[in-house]
Amino acid sequence: MTDFITVADVDQKLGQGWAGSGDVELSVAMANAWLTARIKRTVPVPVPDAIVTAGAQVAKLAAENKLYKDTGKEVLSKTVSAQAGTSTSKTYAEGSVELSAAENFALDLIAPWVRRSGTVLLKRV
């Protein structure tokens, strides 16, 4: 796991007390794990501000127990009938999960580092 952010970075971005009653160290560790799982490119040193901001947002979610959610079986299809001739139905994609606004914001911030480079260098032997 790569350490993209520290507690001090999150304190600077969000101010003291950002974790509320959550565990500060665990929240930052979870944010670093989340970033490590998504960032596929080499990140320059010092870490770009966009990644630090994304990490701070994700650490706050982790402190609120909203980052890693329990998963259950996904609904593939559901139909409910109220009267004859009227019904509603739902179909969810397999593996779909709801993302919070902060998680979507963080994903947009790290987007340049998420995709692998499309350039491949080939050398003849």
pLDDT 10s digits, 31-86 = 999 999 999 888 888 999 999 999 999 999 999 988 877 655 566 666 667 777 67
Half-sphere exposure of 51 toward its Cβ, with a 13 Å CA cutoff?
Answer: 24
CA–CA distances in Å: residue 119 to residues 37, 80, 107, 115, 116: 22, 51, 23, 12, 9
**Predicted local distance difference test score (pLDDT) of residue 70:** 62
Cα angle, residue 111 at apex, residues 55 and 28 outer, rounded to 5°: 10
pLDDT 10s digits, 81-106 = 777 767 676 666 656 667 777 787 88
Beta carbons of 3 and 25 less than 8 angstroms apart: no
pTM of the model: 0.70
Torsions phi, psi for 82 (to 5 deg): -95, -50
